[in-house]
Structure 1
Amino acid sequence: MKTTIKFKVSCLFLFLSIISIAQTEKTVPVFKDGEAQIVEGFSDPDKWIRHDLFVETTFDTDGDGKLDRMHVSVTRPEQTENEGLKLPIILCSSPYYAGTATGAEEGLFWNVNHELGEKAPKRSHPEVKRRGERPIISNSHIQKWVPRGYIVVHTSAPGTGFSQGAPTVGGPNEALAPKTVIDWLCGRAKGFTSPDNTEEVTAFWSTGKVGMTGTSYNGTIPLAAATTGVEGLEAIIPIAPNTSSYHYYRSNGLVRSPGGYLGEDIDVLYDFIHSGDPSKRAYSNKTIRDTELINGMDRETGDFNDFWAGRDYLTKMKPMKAALLMSHGFNDWNVVPEHSYRIYKAAKEKGLPTQIYYHQNGHGGPPPITLMNRWFTRYLHGIKNDVEKDKRAWIVREHDTQDNPTPYDEYPNPKASPVVLHLKNGAPEQGKLEVESNKNKKTETLVDDHNISMEELAKAVNSKNRLLYTTPIFTKDVHISGTTSITIKLASSKPAANLSIALVSLPWNTNKDALITDNIITRGWADPQNHKSISESKPLKPGKFYTMTFNLQPDDQIIPAGQQIGLVIFSSDNQFTILPKPGTELTIDTNETEISIPIVGGIESYIKAVK
């Protein structure tokens, strides 16, 4: 009988112990195969804690005599409140969260229909209407990362939404603002419950490990923050970032609009995002837009100057410590691919952990979730998954989905080397691109007409408005990887002219099931007045020949057998440049013009493909 009682007591004690253990078991991040897994305890949106606060910065850009405060929105699992759990942070910053100008108002963009070097008619300055009482914050990152054991923090850029200050479109405050938020997440800066009170808020739930990501402008800000060298920013994943305002709005001395936004310039973007406190806009407009931006951007010449140099993050990377996973599309003609490559290359040379992901589509497009997850798991959670030993380059091949990239040792492909092709005359039809240098008996001339698009010029059997030179039809695939450059000797009939270049795959395919996914291989633009330097332009002497060399956009593309490469030389590009009256003549010295294309396998591979 006593034995039975003792046994029952023992069972009861064991049962109560199991209940006690179950009650004290806490929800924690889970990792498998080097990736943070979705955890059920973190996945109920109704249990997420959401709150807003304001982090005090070190600057005053709205002229009110007080330090600007940035609006911050936090979304975190309930366990960070009731179980003492600390988690790393995914920080996202943007000027777009709270509303933008419509872009449809007449006069928002600069008028591009005028002669080169002339001042364009003045444009109007629209007011941004801010959305809602609480800015609408993107949920995509919250839904992706909170269930995997992260806290997601959003912050509006200076002068946008509820953040104080003024937008500067690449000025110092746009780097210092996210830096200060990171300082707050690491306990080094002050946060408050409102824009103007003294009630402090602390990030007691933060591990002090921060990663940043975002697309376009939202991808620029992670790089801006990283260039400050702020402690705690461990890794960034910029997606199609604008890494230099000059490279966004200019090209080799030429005034060039981003694709899809003809007539946009840096002051236009300022107006587009300026959704902050309306009572502060007059001061910001006067000191930033109407003084700093308008006086610095020099829309008449397109020359590089100190204003543009101050908005180039490549020159500010010395303090950068964050691991970098870069992402871009090779057919992004809004933020062109050179933006990501130039930063990736510099980060690699600094010895930072680096990877690059490229796809074959247009603007935007994050890396596959597996790549992002492994990156953040390694550098934010500290899980040693050997991601730093993975392949450096991930390229989505033609017709593959964006979540199925092909890994390569490096970008550009280490097996690629320059193949120099020379021009053989053939205007107004097609000339030839040949390995051997040609001695043409005469030059060739094209007549500028912006009414004809590049695509129409490339497809035309003959045209006086472009020069077209083609390789033989390939009998084997040709793999281009890297940056194509052109050396061109030309003369203009006028003191100023646009110069546009496109490398295309022919014949032009419109069939979506064709081997070619996009006929545009790469393209580039330049101002012949800047043949010596992008910082100094001089009027051309009509009829005098000038030589200049410049790069087209980086690419990685396989041109299949049955296609051929075409070099299109033309003047004004109606998708990108100022559009003067038609009629300017460009004359090309074809004996002194050549194009250098990086081809995997080099000249040997190319010769085999054209036999």
Structure 2
Amino acid sequence: MKIPFKLNTTLFSFFIFTISFLYAFTQEKAMPIFKDGEAQIVEAFNTPDKWIRHDLFVETEFDTDGDGKLDRMHVSVTRPFQTDTEGLKLPVIYVSSPYFAGVAQGGNELFWNVKHEIGEQVKEPVRSEVKRVGKRPIISNSHIKKWIPRGYIVVHSSSPGTGLSQGSPTVGGQNESLAPKAVIDWLCGRAKGYTEPYGNKTVEAFWSTGKVGMTGTSYNGTIPLAAATTGVDGLEAIIPIAPNTSYYHYYRSNGLVRSPGGYLGEDIDVLYDFIHSGGEEPIIPNSNTKINDAKIPKAYKNKRAYSNEVIRDTEMKNGMDRITGDYNNFWAGRDYLNHMAPMKAALLMSHGFNDWNVMPEHSYRIYKKAREMGIPSQIYYHQFGHGGPPPITMMNRWFTRYLHGIENGVENDAKAWVVREDDKMDEPTAYKEYPNPNASPATLYLSSGGLSAGKLSTKKQKKQGKETLVDNYNFSGADLAKSTNSKNRLLYVTPILKEDLHISGVPQITIKLASSKPAANLSIWLVSLPWNEGKVKITDNIITRGWADPQNYKSLTESKPLKPGKFYELTFNLQPDDQVIKAGQQIGLMIFSSDQEFTLHPKPGTELTVDLDGTSLTLPVVGGVESFNTSLGN
């Protein structure tokens, strides 16, 4: 067969290239899409089988495992494939945690024994080992299905001393703030990332816009705040959910050694053991490695042993102080409120008013300070327990505004959102601020009869005298609140409410009391009566609670043994609340000593005597004293 023309291969190649280029140019590239101020799911991004996943190790500015080298954090990245094929750059949702690689296994032996006298030294708990889970490169799958289809990259990291991240866990120490800062610096091109924990081959975040948002729940919610307190550039917004913002407030209360709800006997060293899943590499400390200015004379089997001695058995042991429960430099360094000056990231807080693990004060104290600093801030409160994120719409608007830069007006939205008692989590009620701006103090006074039920009213009755309770941890707070008569608590109640009563803010108790011993627990519950049994809403019985050590009547930083029989006055806050107490209920102030669920359990028998004339409760009532009296039909 005769070919009619000679093929010009150069011209043909040019033709094919041109057609391919024009085809590619005319194809619509995948881009984030926004509607009503929210990032929408883009089908081109919603392709999990094509997502690019890889891990790396980011170099920090600290060495906390004693090997003389800067610690590196294990980081994993999940991103749409278009960040490779189309050169797409996207903002980052970043989540960090000490839990990703597994936690310690065991029972009550891992916790401190609470059955002893206040101020008594007891044997330490059994030290546990973490059962490691997970393998490279996947650290976690959390959040990826939520955010990647909406036009974000999701990054995870294990916190220092956990998983494959180097360093020591410090439970609130400085390195837990600087570790996420280093990751953000890497995402913004300011820090080095490596393909291996000890290698020299670098990797860059070429796909990042340099705009980072962080979120997480509980400890995972603490880390975004920790990062924000460094003032790191590029961290534009954080959404901490039920974050622990002060380890003193988590393990102590107004000078009292108090456990977090559900974990009786836990303390900061127990949490250290619970999360310490890293540090398996061998180590021989160099001559400059020190513990409390004393050179280490021995080599360690591995970095775990080094961290245990330096952090848990030295720093924590010397600083945590289960004897007095006082606030000291150790606790001040782990209180993020003290480190907020550099913070600038927009803040959306989320918390449950009935979270008795990480209590609602943790979010409120940070939100309040952020508002005072002029940081864009909102707070979302619900009526349930630990955890519970804001509605996806609220989170979406927050990240859309501050990471994508879409002017959706979120900064002009209501500052406070409260899920009312009978509403769904995604149907919060908007308020101008929290506490409710219409709330003002209503001071309530006690009348005698607390062994059964004394009175609680806005009218102060003179010469009500003194009443005494006997401590006995064997009775739970619920048992005491339900008792018609009890020598183990004092109870003072309002008349039956004729109308609903709205409380919003931080109740405060002033109490004048004497103890039969040099030390005693003091527990305060505000309850709604009658006590409802069975399957009831969490808001039905307990309004709020508080605990204090009478030995700290002058200062949180100094305990002074009580002189038996001498009266002392102390004032402290109960946990923040926003709750509508229904008509037909009574508000009860219950005063008792040892709280079975939260405090130490000293031998029963200590007597607390309360001077009723020197004791009062201040409630933040929407509408103030007038509304309080109206709710009683006055």
Query: What range describes the TM-score normalised by the shorter chain of this pair?
Result: over 0.9
Partner in structure 2 of residue 338 of structure 1:
361
Q: CA deviation at 1:124?
A: 1.2
Q: Is the 8 A contact 2:55 2:136 kept in 1?
A: no
Partner in structure 2 of residue 140 of structure 1:
142
| Corresponding residue SS for 1:480 | strand
Change (3 A) 1:82 1:441: closer
| Corresponding residue SS for 2:371 | helix
Q: Does 2:470 match 1:447?
A: yes
TM-score of the aligned structures, taking structure 1 as reference length? 0.96
State the distance in 2 between where 1:302 and 1:459 align.
30
1:189 pairs with one of 175, 188, 191: 191
Q: Does 2:424 match 1:401?
A: yes
| Corresponding residue SS for 1:321 | coil
Aligned 1:102-117 pairs, distance under 5 A:
102=105, 104-117=106-119
Q: Is the 8 A contact 2:452 2:484 kept in 1?
A: yes
State the distance in 2 between where 1:425 and 1:517 align.
28
Q: Is the 8 A contact 1:427 1:464 kept in 2?
A: no
Q: Is the 8 A contact 1:239 1:364 kept in 2?
A: yes
Partner in structure 1 of residue 620 of structure 2:
598
Query: Over the residues paired in the alignment, what is the CA RMSD in angstroms?
Result: 1.4
Partner in structure 2 of residue 96 of structure 1:
99
Compare 23-32 and 339-348 and name the one that shifted more.
23-32
Q: AA paired with 1:36? A: A
Q: CA deviation at 1:122?
A: 2.0
Structure 2: which 5+ residue stretches go unaligned? Answer: 1-18, 281-301
2:62 pairs with one of 55, 59, 64: 59
Partner in structure 2 of residue 240 of structure 1:
242
Partner in structure 2 of residue 173 of structure 1:
175
State the distance in 1 between where 2:601 and 2:99 align.
30
Q: CA deviation at 1:139?
A: 2.2
Q: Is the 8 A contact 1:115 1:581 kept in 2?
A: yes
| Corresponding residue SS for 1:140 | coil
| Corresponding residue SS for 1:344 | helix
CA offsets 1:167-208 (integer angstroms, 9 cap, x no match): 000000000000000000000000000101000000000000
Q: Does 2:600 match 1:578?
A: yes
Partner in structure 1 of residue 122 of structure 2:
120
Q: Does 2:485 match 1:482?
A: no
Q: Does 2:321 match 1:298?
A: yes
Partner in structure 2 of residue 357 of structure 1:
380
Q: Does 2:48 match 1:45?
A: yes
Q: CA deviation at 1:486?
A: 0.3
Q: Does 2:581 match 1:559?
A: yes
Change (3 A) 1:608 1:18: farther
Aligned 1:263-282 pairs, distance under 5 A:
263-278=265-280, 279-282=302-305
Q: CA deviation at 1:431?
A: 0.3
Change (3 A) 1:590 1:88: same
Partner in structure 2 of residue 36 of structure 1:
39
Q: Does 2:399 match 1:385?
A: no
* Aligned pairs, number: 594
Compare 215-224 and 116-125 and name the one that shifted more.
116-125
State the distance in 2 between where 1:441 and 1:153 align.
62
Compare 427-436 and 586-595 and name the one that shifted more.
427-436
Partner in structure 2 of residue 526 of structure 1:
548
Q: AA paired with 2:155? A: V
Q: Is the 8 A contact 1:98 1:135 kept in 2?
A: no
| Corresponding residue SS for 2:370 | helix
State the distance in 2 between where 1:318 and 1:134 align.
37
Q: Is the 8 A contact 1:97 1:136 kept in 2?
A: no
Partner in structure 2 of residue 11 of structure 1:
none
State the distance in 2 between where 1:312 and 1:431 align.
39
State the distance in 1 between where 2:534 and 2:585 align.
14
State the distance in 2 between where 1:428 and 1:345 align.
38
CA offsets 1:421-477 (integer angstroms, 9 cap, x no match): 000011321001011111234310000000001011111111000000000111110
State the distance in 1 between where 2:625 and 2:534 align.
31
Q: CA deviation at 1:54?
A: 0.2
Q: CA deviation at 1:21?
A: 6.4
| Corresponding residue SS for 2:32 | coil
Q: AA paired with 1:510? A: E
Q: AA paired with 1:285? A: N
Change (3 A) 1:463 1:513: closer
State the distance in 2 between where 1:297 and 1:18 align.
66
State the distance in 2 between where 1:136 and 1:433 align.
57
Q: AA paired with 1:162? A: L
| Corresponding residue SS for 1:42 | coil
Change (3 A) 1:605 1:106: closer
TM-score of the aligned structures, taking structure 2 as reference length? 0.92
Change (3 A) 1:517 1:533: closer
Q: Percent identity?
A: 73
1:321 pairs with one of 344, 358, 365: 344
Q: CA deviation at 1:123?
A: 1.4
Structure 1: which 5+ residue stretches go unaligned? Answer: 1-15
Q: Is the 8 A contact 1:135 1:161 kept in 2?
A: no
Q: Is the 8 A contact 1:97 1:135 kept in 2?
A: no
Q: AA paired with 1:568? A: M
Q: CA deviation at 1:511?
A: 5.3
Change (3 A) 1:519 1:248: same
Q: Is the 8 A contact 1:417 1:598 kept in 2?
A: yes
Q: AA paired with 2:191? A: A
Change (3 A) 1:400 1:511: farther
State the distance in 2 between where 1:412 and 1:222 align.
24
| Corresponding residue SS for 1:388 | helix
Q: Does 2:220 match 1:218?
A: yes
State the distance in 1 between where 2:270 and 2:254 align.
21
Q: AA paired with 1:284? A: S
Partner in structure 1 of residue 81 of structure 2:
78
Q: Is the 8 A contact 1:98 1:136 kept in 2?
A: no
| Corresponding residue SS for 1:80 | helix
